[in-house]
Amino acid sequence: MKRIGKLMADIWIHNGTIIGGHGGEPIKNGVVHIRDNRIHAVGRAAEIGMPAGVQKIDAQGGTILPGLIDTHVHIMFEYQNPEVMAQQPFSLRFYNAVHYMRRTIDAGITSVRDAGGADLGTKTAVERGLVVGPRMMISTAPLGITGGHSDWWQPSGSGFNLFPTYPGMPEGLCDGVEDVRRAVRQVLRAGADVIKIMATGGVLSPTDHPDFIGFSEEELRVIVEEGEKRRGVKVMAHAQGLEGIKLALRAGIHSIEHGIYLDDETCELMLEHGAFLVPTLIAPIWVLEMAQATGAVPEYGVRKARESIEAHTESISLAVKKGVKIAMGTDAGVIPHGQNLRELGLMVKCGMTPMQVLVATTKTAAECMGWDDRLGTLEPGKLADVIVTRTDPLQNIESLENTDNITVVIQDGKILKNHLDKN
Ligand SMILES: [Zn+2]
């Protein structure tokens, strides 16, 4: 990342309890020493010498954590009634996204995996420091079948497409082995760091259902072959219904998104394949809340959200019990950006401890993205993504939902939010 002006001073965060992301005992009265864009030292205040000329941040008895990671967002949109979205000028999405990215940072999320919609230009703008936003792993266009979850076709023949094509954003609809191969190669050419596919139907799509199977087994194998086997680019699958989840796992998909209808067998398959589960528990709940508050959700969306909420909780609770690897992800974009941490309390309701939830939001999320060599825990040598919270998330995980309780956000050694100075 480019820096303007003089070399940055070291940053010295003190007077806080460190939760390092690896699930170990918190360190009381801890210090995190940042040098340039890396973590230089982490430990007890008594054990770490303070060099001269550091910029001090007094955590004021709060909690010091690694920058949080959301492994399932859509930074380019915020869901509204399709009729409203259809009226929006095309390029407005890029300006809106600037605000969505800022809100994501303000929530303490310093890295995201975009599950469809963000292109290489958006990622590059963040990397170059043109806009403030989370470090991004992008998928560009989600791949799906005709009539599947990413197909916004309407009987009238007109309407709104949530995933329009434009330079840098290929067509994601594809059918049959060779067409699917072409589509994978196109998203890779457009800069995809991860391939997003729709392995089953979903809640907000007009003509399908979560139980419907998307790609065939052969198509899934070609996707994994072109992506992970040939290029080392992993595949994340929107997968809600049982049969579609099984097909995806057998084909070697890296992460199962949503996982609304898991059973014992699928959990065991996940363990066997080392696949990650990204629950996005907040997504269907928000769809119902939005429907009740504004009526802005089509009938099919409300009906399918209502059907899935209870099953979703049971499904994720089962996966927790079975010890499936869980990475935090929210589907932000379906929910408003910045409210991502509402997910954490819901994960606790599925049987995870607050500490397990924090690990899922840091270390395991970084592992899911293949970024655990540089992010996810507070360790010397890792990139300096560090946040401070006013409250203790182990005592009250819901307190993190309020972004005012996220007092400091540092990304790559750069202070992007600091509300402690104002007190
Ligand atoms: Zn999504």
**Distance, CA 351 to ligand 1 centroid (Å)?**
23
**Distance, CA 238 to ligand 1 centroid (Å)?**
7
Cα 59 to the center of its chain, rounded Å:
26
**Distance, CA 406 to ligand 1 centroid (Å)?**
25
Domains 11-67+377-418 and 68-369 belong to one CATH topology:
no
Largest CA distance in the chain: 69
**Distance, CA 415 to ligand 1 centroid (Å)?**
29
Domain boundaries, the chain: 11-67+377-418, 68-369
**Distance, CA 142 to ligand 1 centroid (Å)?**
9
- pTM of the model as a whole: 0.96
Degrees, nearest 5: CA angle 241-246-251: 130
Q: List the shell of residues around ion ligand 1, using CB closer than 5 Å.
A: 115, 331
Which CA distances in Å does 355 have to 122, 253, 392?
A: 33, 27, 11
Classified by CATH at the fold level, domain 11-67+377-418 comes out as Urease, subunit C; domain 1 (2.30.40)
**Distance, CA 24 to ligand 1 centroid (Å)?**
31
**Distance, CA 65 to ligand 1 centroid (Å)?**
26
Q: Domain 68-369 carries which CATH code?
A: 3.20.20.140
For residue 70, the tally of other CB atoms under 10 A from its CB is 31
Q: Which residues are the active-site residues? A: 196, 331
**Rounded (10°) angle between helices 299-322 and 342-349:** 60
CA dihedral (176, 181, 182, 186) positive or negative:
positive
Q: What is the pLDDT along the chain (423 residues), one digit of tens a residue?
A: 444 444 567 999 999 999 999 999 999 999 999 999 999 999 999 998 888 889 999 999 999 999 999 999 999 999 888 788 888 999 999 999 999 999 999 999 999 999 999 999 999 999 999 999 999 999 999 999 999 988 988 888 877 888 999 999 999 999 999 999 999 999 999 999 999 999 998 887 777 788 899 999 999 999 999 999 999 999 999 999 999 999 999 999 999 999 999 999 999 999 999 999 999 999 999 989 988 888 878 888 888 888 889 999 999 999 999 999 999 999 999 999 999 999 999 999 999 999 999 999 999 999 999 999 999 999 999 999 999 999 999 999 999 999 999 999 999 999 999 998 654
